[in-house]
Amino acid sequence: MDSCMTVEREIDKVLTKFGGLHDHSVDTIEDFITSLENIRKELAEGPADGEVQVTQSLVMNQALHRVQEATSRMGQEHKDLHSTVSKVGKTIDRNFVSEFSAVFTEGSFENDETQMLLNEIICEHFLRQGKLDIAEALNEEADLNLDPVQMEPFLELHRILGALKRRNLQPALSWTAANRDSLQNQGSNLEFKLHRLQFIELVSQTTQNQTQVLQYAKNFAKFADKHAREVQVLMGSLLYMKQGIHTSPYAFLLDPIYWEEICDVFTRDACALMGMSVESPLSVSIRAGCRALPPLLNIRQVMQQRQVSGVWTSKDELPVEIDLGNEHRYHSIFACPILRQQSTEHNPPVRLICGHVISRDALHKLASGNKYVSQFGVKTLVKCPYCPVEQNPDDAKVVMF
């Protein structure tokens, strides 16, 4: 942030200088034009074949001289401006790192498959934003061969959201009606919230017919069980319909926050229904990258200073834990307390019979040195590293989060 402020200060300097120069030049040029026009007028008023008088030629010479002087001065001032402009460039170079090769994996996007995936993610991002023309151009130029059927849900989502932002609930209501069963299965309250907003809209219009509004209220019948309290409140607001609910105890229903909320609820539920993430994977990756880059660059620098660059050799693994904040936490993770590694699909956490949890690799390592021959053949016995309970490693159970 500090870096941005420093650059902004330099830009402000350029703008002030440029503004000053502009105003000054315009004034000077205006002055010259007026004085030259005066001279021309004076000359034109004189006799057609008369000679130019000495004083007139003197005035003309002086004027020309002044114009030349001012032009070269303005040229100089303009040149000075360049140094201020180039200072901005230097400040950007000084305050921002442009060399990231130390912290990314070379060749990540070099093969055709990853290139294609990257292009698909970019294309999906544009589709999510409703920028159909850009997405189509990318689809064509990068040979993505995206099926128009794949694009349709994004466009519909965007169209409905656009309508919601214009306070038009109809497209969203038809969509929820068409997907009612699936929405109910995922425990969505979207349809109720849409009807509630529509109802409040009707109640807030004093010109509306009360009977019609009551008629609309029938839509709440199917929500009566789950939202009884909220439906009661809505019915109460009907009493103030004639005098206008904005001056009634129900004025809170008109809070614009409900309209903001409905856009979020709609996006979340519709994305869940279509099996998509709520946010574009591209924006999430970029945001995460912006957070992770500064600490990674710092670590790289420290490593270089202390000449321990060999510590971080595998670039698909982070040298330290990077906290991306709560909004980027999607699932629980388990780090093995023995190997100090995050569990993976191939190395899941396992629960020992005593209740302690370690990773499967750690268990194998413990087991490998503890084989003994008994009368029943080769047996393995593992001692839990946290409590002295001895057990057969085969009794450990994989833990799923």
Using CA atoms, how far residue 317 sits from 21, 76, 96, 306, in Å, is: 54, 55, 25, 21
Binding status of residue 4 toward Zn ion by CB under 5 A: no
CB 361 within 8 A of CB 387: no
Residue of the chain from 356, 357, 381, 393 that contacts Zn ion (CB under 5 A) = 356
How many residues of this chain interact with Zn ion, rule: CB under 5 A? 5
Binding status of residue 386 toward Zn ion by CB under 5 A: yes
Residue of the chain from 387, 390, 392, 395 that contacts Zn ion (CB under 5 A) = 387
Q: 349-351 and 357-359: which strand pairing?
A: antiparallel
CB 304 within 8 A of CB 202: no
Smaller CB distance to Zn ion: residue 158 or 356?
356
Binding status of residue 351 toward Zn ion by CB under 5 A: no
Q: What is the C-alpha separation between 48 and 40, in angstroms, rounded?
A: 13
Question: To the nearest whole angstrom, how small is the minimum distance from the Cβ of residue 340 to Zn ion?
Answer: 18
Smaller CB distance to Zn ion: residue 302 or 387?
387
Binding status of residue 18 toward Zn ion by CB under 5 A: no
Question: To the nearest whole angstrom, how small is the minimum distance from the Cβ of residue 332 to Zn ion?
Answer: 21
Non-local (6+) Cβ contacts of 105 within 8 A are 315, 316
Question: To the nearest whole angstrom, how small is the minimum distance from the Cβ of residue 384 to Zn ion?
Answer: 3
CB 331 within 8 A of CB 345: no
Q: Hey, is 219 helix, strand or coil?
A: helix
DSSP state of 379: E
What phi and psi, each to the nearest 5 degrees, are found at residue 396?
-70, 140
∠ CA(246), CA(249), CA(253), 5° rounding?
60
Smaller CB distance to Zn ion: residue 45 or 394?
394
Question: To the nearest whole angstrom, how small is the minimum distance from the Cβ of residue 400 to Zn ion?
Answer: 20
Smaller CB distance to Zn ion: residue 172 or 352?
352
Smaller CB distance to Zn ion: residue 159 or 356?
356
Binding status of residue 354 toward Zn ion by CB under 5 A: yes
Q: Which chain residues interact with Zn ion by CB under 5 A? A: 354, 356, 384, 386-387
